[in-house]
Structure 1
């Protein structure tokens, strides 16, 4: 089991134009993932069976969860219930730190 994630060994994967993902830590029951966005990049509306909690570490985002859009900046967070439709638009360059329970196995195969 890997206990630590170090910046120099972090692997970033481009998942859409201006949007990169890095799995920081994971176990079957929990996962921590960083998403880096360029200004104007979109995290498209989607849903999944996992509970998600997201922390805005940098930047400003319009965050939509179940048809409700709210502007969030650094220090803000939001929670997404399983199967809720959600997505983001980066109004500035930014960084989201997301947790998922259980782990998003689809992120490990990419």
Structure 2
């Protein structure tokens, strides 16, 4: 468990071209993730059982989920329910915070 994480201690990885990810504070129920997207990045369409709360810190993204398209800019937020197929695209260079519940076990390996 990492209930307190200093930004400078958070490991940054690049799981796909145009994206960087940091695992921030988390426990067994919640996980905070920071993503940086380069302008033009297009994420892989996917789904997962976790509920995902998305907050755009800076920039702008387009999200497609369950046939709905939203454009979110700095200060905007939205929820992707667990099991819903979705995809994101960076309209601008962006910083995005994602909160997942329950915790993403597949991201725990990034902590260290």
Deviation, 1:3, is 3.3
Q: Which residue of 1 aligns with 2:40?
A: 40
Q: CA RMSD in A?
A: 1.2
TM-score (norm. length: structure 1) = 0.94
Report the counterpart of residue 66 of structure 1 in structure 2.
66
Could you tell me how far 1:16 is from its partner in structure 2? 0.6
Query: What does 1:27-106 correspond to in 2, within 5 Å?
Result: 27-106=27-106
Number of residue-to-residue matches in the alignment:
110
Partners in 1 of 2:36 and 2:7 — Cα distance?
A: 14
Give the TM-score taking structure 2 as reference length: 0.92
- Structure 2 residue ranges without an equivalent (≥5): none
Between Structure 1 and Structure 2, the one with more strand by share is: 1
Separation in 1, partners of 2:10, 2:34: 10
Whether 2:16 is the aligned partner of 1:16: answer yes
Deviating above 6 A after TM superposition, structure 1's stretches of 4 or more consecutive aligned residues are none
Q: Is the 8 A contact 2:22 2:34 kept in 1?
A: yes
Superposed CA deviations along residues 35-67 of structure 1, whole A, max 9, x for unmatched, are 110111122211000111010001111111112
